[in-house]
Structure 1
Amino acid sequence: MEPGGAKGKDARERRRGAIEAASAVARRLAIECSHPTILKDANNTIVHLAPAPVVAKVGTTMIRQQALALLERELSIGLHLASRQAPIAPPTSSVPPGPHSHGATVLTLWELRDHDPDRNFEPALLAAALKRFHEAFAGYPGELPAFTGQVEEAGSVLSDPSRTPT
């Protein structure tokens, strides 16, 4: 489908809604956000609340209840990993990380981590980081879904072009 077609319009509306929700939450929490910028738009939309060093992970492709449950679990895991100094971009500590809502949209707030997507890391460094991550995650006390459910959901999304973000 062409960029100006229905899918392109849906993507533009999703991005606009993500920026609107993230900006509204930023205003409510007194986060300086004069230039909200989309960093990634896939199953969730990631918005940098520039110039603040905070990003919003906005649930934009699911119904509110699904997005809320997934973002709550992800935030719980992120807080657990951050408390154990795992190598992650942690939930923000400058304001409550959420989940927050604006209308029917839910989002969580995370610290911005600058990165160079073209940088290559030594395999040993990556292996050490992965080991630290797994060690920190091993003690997670929360409930996790069976992985098979995620595989089935991915298959369902991939088989339905209307559920695949553009």
Structure 2
Amino acid sequence: MTDAESSGRTLSTRAELAVRLATTAGRRLGLRADEPRVLHDVFNVLVHLAPDPVVVRVPTLALTSAAEQAAKQRDELAVAGWLADRGARVVRPSPLVPREPVEIEGKSLTFWEYVHEVDALGDLSEADPGRLEEHFTQQAGWTAKLHGSLAEYPGELPTLSPLVPALGPALAELRSRPQSLTVADLDRAEREYAALETLVRDLPAYFPGARVQALHGDAPFYNVLRTAEGYLFNDFEDVTRGPVEWDLTLAGPRGIAEYERVSGTRIDPDLLSAMEGARLLQIVGALAVVPKMPELGPMLEPMVAQWRARTELTLPERA
């Protein structure tokens, strides 16, 4: 939902498809979509249907069916819409169309309000490391406030759904097309996934003090847009229920300290470590989409190397 348009660049095949699908779906809903612009093209393609203030998220790399995508998106729209209706600082579903996913040609699309971002970091690989740390530390504090709102969410959500069952199809795909993974890597990944399945079935049995609630689901402090009117949390597509530590796996020591300061609560270091291992396994699973997006492989390899160097994820003794 930003203004960081990839202008002047040749659109990828994914982006060309996304523009066509977003434009067609938007016009069916009564939008003009005269000047569609690609804002973002990685795991999802974001298309601004200018001149209307609407951004369409098109999941071009999903390994699941449109029906499965739509089920997940209904949770996303419900949570983001509920937060927006309560005045929380989030990008809201577009008020110009119904709050429902739109299925078209095997894809399920969602429609969001366009907002203009200021103070964008641009290419994170080229940003000043000190500025990055300050930026994300502050946003970890904002995450504490987001969690305070999400703790009151009244709806039902699955537990740690970005892990279980989402990782299952990805690991199955990697078993047949392993990319850079060895047989030993695949065996380890499947053992870790089995441990996560056990954890999801009865998380309090292993971490009885966990704060289990509705979560953003995907490192919310990275998914913040800074606008002239203030910050807005964005991208709730992995919304789930789970321990707050799942949302903090990439925060780093300063981010954790800021979160604890703002929230007035302590983060469980053992549970955080387990969730960090789970996050790395999720990144390993993302290798499954490399055949659709080859340039993603080199981007993921440093994190895959971290996963290999880390002690294998296992569960503690039951409480």
Alignment of structure 1 residues 33-112 onto 2, 5 Å: 33-62=33-62, 63=64, 64-112=66-114
| Structure 1: tracts of 5 or more residues without a match | 1-10
| Structure 2: runs of 5+ lacking an equivalent | 1-10, 123-130, 168-278, 296-319
Matches of 1:110 and 1:165, distance apart in 2: 28
Q: Secondary structure at the match of 1:162?
A: coil
Give distance in 2, aligned partners of 1:29 and 1:160: 31
Q: Is the alpha carbon distance of 1:158 and 1:138 closer, same or farther for their aligned partners in structure 2, counting shifts above 3 Å?
A: same
Cα distance in structure 2, aligned partners of 1:39 and 1:131 = 28
Cα deviations by residue, 1:3-39 (Å, 9 ceiling, x for unpaired): xxxxxxxx82211111111101111111121111111
Paired residue total: 156
Q: Could you list the per-position Cα deviations for residues 85-125 of structure 1 after superposition, in whole angstroms to 9, with x for gaps in the alignment?
A: 11111101122132012221210111011102149898897
Return the structure number with greater strand share: 1
Distance (whole Å) between structure 1 residues aligned to residue 148 and residue 22 of structure 2 = 33
Structure with the greater alpha carbon radius of gyration:
2
Query: Aligned pair 1:161/2:304, yes or no?
Result: no
CA gap 1:33/1:148 in 2 versus in 1, 3 angstroms: closer
What is the identity, as a one-letter code, of the residue corresponding to 1:86? A
Return closer, same or farther for 1:118/1:153 CA change in 2, 3 Å cut-off. closer
| TM-score relative to the length of structure 2 | 0.43
Q: Helix, strand or coil for the counterpart of 2:94?
A: coil
TM-score (normalised: structure 1): 0.78
Cα distance in structure 1, aligned partners of 2:95 and 2:60: 24
Greater Cα shift, 103-112 or 131-140 = 131-140
Task: Give the partner amino acid of 1:47.
Answer: V
- Superimposed CA distance per residue, residues 66-98 of structure 1 (whole angstroms, 9 cap, x where no aligned partner): 422332222122112112211111101122132
Measured in 1, the distance between the counterparts of 2:156 and 2:55 equals: 24
Q: Which has the higher contact order (CA 8 A, sep 6+)?
A: 1
Q: Aligned-residue CA RMSD in angstroms?
A: 2.8
